[in-house]
């Protein structure tokens, strides 16, 4: 049997793509191995969102080559799409370059490789296809990703995704619900709906469900207890999503709503298509919900032209919203993006200074938010056991990590079970408690 090894970087979309690619390869008679040394085919599913992503990929490909003479190498994902055939020039040992919009063609591409083709590509972005396969090999038996929309039609000035993942294509609600039911029958209880912008979901089937209706329907499938979704774009985020959460307890108390900046000047320069006031209206919907919704966001500091005053507006936004968590990044220039044309770049040291200030402020906010849970009993889905600390690892509906012990030691595994846990202590990034 031919053997393959795959390494994956990037977002949840990429992680889930790899699950589908793995399933496709296994279906074609390949076996998965845990190290490149054992493999005939070495695949690298890449991310291009920040920093010197391309250079890192080429460095890793060099390293693969040095240690693994005579194997077949393939580059998948966002760097594959972005760099295309240039990869063959810079890394001549690579034989396959395929972006996520072409994964449907992987079986044919594999045949071409097997019949001795040295350079095989899947790089067209001109597609209506979504990558759906019943073969998906999920690596978690309780919690499953389901893609509902691929690609992105926005044009945020800093972002490579529209160029690496192509135009928006939605899956039919029928196919999403069928997959959910199959997963529920296999014992999955948590579903995470995925897309670069799930709020742009347009059901191509006659049912014509809106995103909020689809969310609700997934949460009503027998056996499903938790539904999450990521990522939301503020401009397309409708009040109907919060109404659905209010009406359906299986939809988790969690919304990730990337703001990027608290300054209207910067938001405009970023081409984000909303103002701070538009964004705050959506936050108000969440705060007015009778659910206790945990809100998280993404922030970029040091976008070209971001003044000290702009940055202070982002800091003030953190105080106003009181996020449960944030992902924050220094702006980095990306190939093909509109922001390349902007001047007025912020020096790296200054970006670093702003990032530190932002993260310190958020740490204090998180400590305070998490302290509010002390004394409360929360339901967790158990994700595993940490041998080093002797604690079980649980996840609350708000997606907070709640590490806990049981009153008596248990021999059996609790992983995948739902338990009530009393919160006893709180840190900035996790809670500690005891099962009740």
Q: Which is nearer to ligand F3S, 84 or 416 (CB)?
A: 84
Both tokens of 136, joined, read: 């998906």
Q: How far is the CB of 60 from ligand SF4 (least distance, A)?
A: 24
Decide: is 80 part of the binding site for ligand F3S (CB under 6 A): no
SS3 367: helix
Cis ω before 231 (30° cut-off from 0): yes
Q: With CB cut-offs between 5 and 8 Å by kind, which of ligand SAH, ligand F3S, ligand SF4, none does residue 140 bind?
A: none
Q: Which does 358 bind (CB under 5 to 8 A by kind): ligand F3S, ligand SF4, ligand SAH, none?
A: none
Does residue 13 belong to the site contacting ligand F3S (CB under 6 A)?
Answer: yes
How near is the Cβ of 54 to ligand SAH at its closest, in Å? 13
CB 108 within 8 A of CB 120: no
- Residues of this chain, 260-289, that bind ligand SF4 according to CB under 6 A: none
* Binding partner at 380 among ligand SAH, ligand SF4, ligand F3S, none, C-beta below 5 to 8 Å by kind: none
Q: Please, which of residues 100-159 interact with ligand SF4 by CB under 6 A?
A: 152, 154, 156, 159
Nearest CB to ligand F3S, comparing residues 11 and 316: 11
The CA angle 384-229-330, to the nearest 5 degrees, is 90
Report which of 135, 146, 134, 153 is spatially closest to residue 171, judged by C-alpha positions: 146
Q: Where are the beta strands (DSSP E) in 293-430?
A: 294-301, 325-330, 377-386, 391-396, 401-405, 418-426
Binder among 42, 57, 78, 96 for ligand F3S (CB under 6 A): 78
Among 98, 73, 70, 72, which Cα is nearest to 83's? 98
197 is a site residue for ligand F3S (CB under 6 A): no
Rounded Cα distance between 123 and 382, Å, is 40
Shortest Cβ distance from residue 161 to ligand SAH (Å)? Answer: 6
**Which residues touch 408 (CB under 8 Å, ≥6 apart)?**
none
- Separation between Cα atoms, residue 204 and residue 209, nearest integer Å: 9
Query: By Cβ distance, which residue is nearest to ligand F3S?
Result: 10
Nearer to ligand SF4, 91 or 270 (CB): 270
Q: Which residues bind ligand F3S (CB under 6 A)?
A: 10-11, 13-14, 47-49, 77-78, 160-161, 164-165
């Amino acid at each position: 049997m031919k053997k393959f090894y795959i390494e994956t970087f990037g977002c949840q979309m990429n992680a889930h793509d790899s699950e589908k690619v793995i399933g496709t390869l296994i279906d074609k008679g390949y076996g998965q191995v845990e190290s490149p040394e054992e493999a005939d085919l070495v695949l690298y599913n890449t991310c291009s969102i920040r920093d010197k992503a391309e250079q890192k990929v080429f460095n890793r490909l060099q390293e693969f080559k040095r240690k693994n003479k005579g194997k077949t190498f393939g580059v998948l994902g966002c760097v594959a799409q972005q760099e295309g055939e240039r990869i063959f020039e810079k890394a001549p040992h690579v034989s396959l370059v395929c972006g996520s919009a072409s994964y449907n063609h992987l079986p044919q591409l594999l045949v071409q490789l097997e019949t001795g083709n040295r350079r095989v590509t899947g790089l067209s972005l001109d597609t209506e296809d979504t990558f759906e396969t019943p073969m998906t090999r999920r690596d978690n038996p309780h919690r499953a990703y389901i893609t509902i929309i691929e690609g992105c039609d926005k044009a945020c000035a800093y972002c490579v995704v529209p160029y690496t993942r192509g135009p928006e294509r939605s899956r039919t609600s029928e196919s999403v619900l069928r997959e959910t039911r199959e997963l529920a029958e296999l014992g999955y209880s948590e579903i995470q709906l995925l897309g670069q912008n799930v709020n742009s979901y347009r059901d191509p089937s006659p049912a014509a469900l809106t995103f909020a209706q689809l969310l609700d329907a997934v949460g009503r499938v027998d056996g499903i207890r938790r539904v999450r979704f990521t990522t939301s774009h503020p401009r397309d985020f409708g009040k109907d999503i919060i109404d659905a959460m209010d009406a359906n307890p299986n939809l988790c108390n969690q919304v990730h709503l990337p703001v990027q900046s608290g300054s209207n000047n910067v938001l405009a320069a970023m081409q984000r298509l909303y103002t701070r006031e538009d964004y705050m209206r959506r936050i108000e919907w969440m705060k007015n919900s009778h659910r206790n919704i945990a809100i998280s966001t993404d922030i970029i500091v040091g976008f070209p032209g971001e003044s000290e005053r702009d940055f202070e507006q982002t800091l003030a936004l953190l105080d106003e919203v009181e996020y449960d968590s944030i992902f924050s990044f220094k702006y980095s220039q990306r190939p093909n993006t509109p922001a390349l044309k902007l001047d007025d770049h912020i020096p790296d040291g200054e970006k670093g200074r702003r990032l530190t200030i932002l993260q310190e402020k958020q740490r204090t906010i998180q400590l305070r938010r998490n302290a509010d849970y002390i004394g409360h009993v929360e339901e967790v889905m158990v994700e595993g056991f940490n041998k080093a600390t002797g604690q079980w690892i649980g996840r609350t509906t708000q997606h907070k990590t709640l590490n806990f012990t049981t009153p008596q030691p248990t021999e059996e595994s609790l992983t995948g079970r739902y338990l009530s846990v009393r919160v006893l202590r709180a840190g900035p990034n996790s809670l500690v408690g005891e099962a009740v």
